[in-house]
């Protein structure tokens, strides 16, 4: 009952929730992680890596941020997003934070030069009256100069603005360390504390950077305001999570002083950092994709397309906020304006930006938004009355593939006007709102010949299964067979653990990493037998494991590439197998 209660609260309150075994398993798994976490430091399972913080003008490394990593002996790498919240709930964050502080100071002393090291401080650590003494002890034992240590503090410490908070800041500054305000704008977000809190730097959270280059985003203005505020207060700025060259150009043009992200480097071990600094200053040339890639979903979904006064059924292969990959369009020219009908009154203007073999890449004139369940939708729906006036089905695209006449001879702009759709032109909407036409960075097209009916036949599936079973990778055969027999995604099968399965009942509980919940997949007799035949090692919990490392595979991409070419089907993506059915020969 207690687990069901907290599941209802976690789901948004105002609802009921029944107990299920998945809740019990999640609680047991969390309890086990907590138990293992208590011994992780003593067993030497924790390590620190350091991500460079680079001067925006010179590409010169000015400091690094310490990032903790947990190498679990059975689970493998455990994400900090998983174990840090557990450490906070279990009162383990204080000893863990102290270890990070001491280890970072010890490592920093060994580096050539005088770059700074940044250490994250949790609100729980900050509230400890003895925290300044811990900082002084770490500095004294390591011999690190105080001005080389930067403490990153989140806005959560200001939830109780008091004399104690001000006194803590004064004591820390008295030691001589630097203070950085981390994740600015995502928490408490009151500017009053900036009047007295002696910060040296403001860190701009990556959530602002991530969407800043997308059409219609206001994040650029927010970043500019943060930089102006920091400059007025005499503080430096660091933009986190920079991954593409257009993001880099954006933050540089907005005068952000420091940059951190994959565009320069991921976190590196202490030994690697020492090697980089041996020759003096470490200059890193930015390297990454030209443009920010929107979150993209692979799918196989029927939608409608309106062009030339007709409405025709087409297929969406990939979908992102800014564009989609469409199959089934005729030979339309580049830059042709069309309307995509997602069904239920969701229509959006789009332009042809790429042309491939039987595929078109389209760019939406206005970006889609999250639908709250992991996919995307349009901002405004068209009323059923407007759809009916043009003879369009109010439930969505037509089931048949034959085209429907919408308004013969009418331009796409005229049809859009009849539907009440607004256009973005010249950087502004007709209603006067801001609009920035984006790029098709999220769409990657590959010329390839498709089957005429765009579906895998049973013979195709048999050839793919035979090629997979003949692969030099012994796990590819059962992996591909399970994709066909279960209909799950490749990543779900790669991450599957033996504990997820109840083979006696023929059930697989597939967890959702985003929500923490799980769904139940009913296993067929054939799928159950395949799983029973898989090798199982005592020191490995993963269902499909690398026989050499006894750990989960990161990907089957290279093995699958060979197998699909051997089967004469070089275009088939591995996740398409879940959309097929096994042939009678296979059961």
Q: Which residues have a catalytic role annotated?
A: 240
Q: Is 67 helix (H, G, I), strand (E, B) or coil?
A: strand
Q: What phi-psi label fits residue 36: left (phi over 0), alpha (psi between -120 and 50 degrees) or beta?
A: alpha
User: Which residues lie below 8 Å from residue 557, measured CB to CB, with a gap of 6+?
Assistant: 574
> Positive or negative CA dihedral for 250, 256, 257, 259?
negative
Which residue from 283, 286, 234, 231 is spatially nearest to 254, judged by alpha carbons? 231
Q: Which long-range contacts (CB under 8 A, 24 or more apart) does 454-460 make?
A: 454/315, 454/327, 454/328, 456/569, 456/572, 456/576, 456/577, 456/579, 456/580, 458/581, 458/583, 458/584, 459/583, 460/567, 460/569, 460/572
Rounded Cα–Cα distance for residues 327 and 307 (Å): 14
Alpha carbon 346 to its chain's center: 25
Rounded Cα–Cα distance for residues 441 and 255 (Å): 25
From residue 259, alpha-carbon distances to 96, 194, 205 in Å are 27, 22, 11
Rounded Cα–Cα distance for residues 109 and 113 (Å): 9
Rounded Cα–Cα distance for residues 501 and 507 (Å): 6
Query: Which residue(s) pair with 153 in the sheet?
Result: 121, 181
Give me 422's structure tokens. 């607004």
Contact 101, 138 (CB under 8 A): yes
């Amino acid at each position: 009952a207690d687990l069901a209660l907290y599941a209802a609260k976690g789901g948004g309150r105002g609802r009921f929730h029944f107990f299920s075994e998945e809740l019990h398993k999640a609680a047991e798994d969390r309890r086990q992680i907590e138990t293992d976490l208590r011994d992780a430091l003593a067993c030497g399972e924790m390590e620190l890596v350091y991500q460079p913080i680079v001067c925006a003008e010179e590409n010169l490394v000015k400091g690094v941020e310490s990032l903790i990593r947990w190498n679990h002996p059975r689970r493998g790498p455990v994400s900090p997003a998983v174990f840090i919240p557990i450490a906070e709930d279990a009162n383990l964050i204080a000893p863990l934070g102290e270890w990070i502080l001491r280890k970072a100071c010890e490592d920093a002393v060994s580096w050539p030069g005088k770059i700074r090291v940044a250490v994250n401080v949790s609100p729980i650590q900050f509230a400890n009256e003895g925290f300044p003494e811990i900082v002084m002890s770490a500095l004294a034992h390591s011999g690190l100069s105080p001005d080389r240590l930067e403490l990153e503090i989140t806005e959560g410490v200001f939830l109780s603005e008091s004399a104690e908070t001000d006194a803590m800041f004064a004591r820390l500054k008295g030691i001589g360390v630097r203070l950085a305000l981390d994740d600015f704008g995502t928490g408490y977000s009151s500017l009053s504390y900036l009047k007295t809190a002696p910060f040296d730097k403001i860190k701009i959270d990556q959530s602002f950077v991530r969407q800043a280059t997308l059409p219609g985003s206001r994040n650029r203005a927010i970043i500019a305001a943060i930089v102006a505020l920091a400059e007025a207060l005499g503080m430096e700025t660091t933009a986190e999570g920079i991954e593409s060259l257009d993001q880099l150009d954006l933050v540089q043009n907005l005068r952000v002083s420091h940059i951190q992200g994959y565009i320069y480097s991921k976190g590196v071990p202490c030994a690697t950092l020492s090697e980089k600094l041996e020759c003096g200053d470490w200059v890193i040339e930015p390297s990454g994709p030209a443009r920010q890639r929107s979150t993209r979903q692979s799918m196989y979904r029927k939608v409608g397309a309106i062009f030339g006064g007709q409405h025709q059924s087409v297929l969406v292969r990939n979908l992102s906020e800014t564009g989609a990959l469409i199959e089934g369009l005729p030979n339309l020219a580049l830059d042709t304006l069309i309307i995509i009908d997602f069904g239920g009154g969701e229509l959006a203007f789009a332009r042809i930006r790429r042309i491939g073999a039987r595929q078109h890449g389209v760019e939406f004139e206005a970006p889609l938004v999250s639908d709250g369940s992991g996919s995307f939708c349009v901002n405004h729906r068209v009323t059923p009355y407007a759809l009916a006036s043009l003879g369009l089905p109010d439930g969505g695209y037509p089931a048949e593939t034959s085209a429907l006449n919408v308004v013969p001879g009418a331009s796409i702009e005229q049809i859009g006007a009849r539907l009440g759709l607004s256009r973005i032109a010249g950087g502004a909407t007709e209603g006067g709102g801001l609009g920035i036409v984006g790029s098709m960075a999220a769409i990657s097209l590959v010329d390839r010949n498709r089957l005429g009916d765009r579906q895998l036949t049973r013979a195709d599936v048999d050839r793919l299964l035979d090629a997979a079973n003949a692969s030099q990778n012994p796990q590819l055969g059962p992996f591909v067979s399970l994709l066909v027999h279960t209909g799950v995604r490749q990543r779900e099968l790669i991450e599957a653990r033996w504990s997820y399965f109840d083979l006696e009942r023929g059930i697989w509980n597939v967890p959702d990493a985003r929500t923490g919940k799980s769904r139940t997949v009913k296993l067929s007799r054939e799928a159950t037998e395949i799983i029973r035949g898989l090798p199982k090692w005592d020191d490995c919990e993963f269902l499909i494991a690398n026989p050499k490392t006894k750990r989960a595979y990161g990907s089957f991409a290279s093995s699958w590439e060979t197998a699909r070419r051997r089967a004469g089907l070089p275009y088939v993506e591995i996740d398409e197998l879940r959309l097929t059915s096994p042939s009678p020969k296979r059961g």
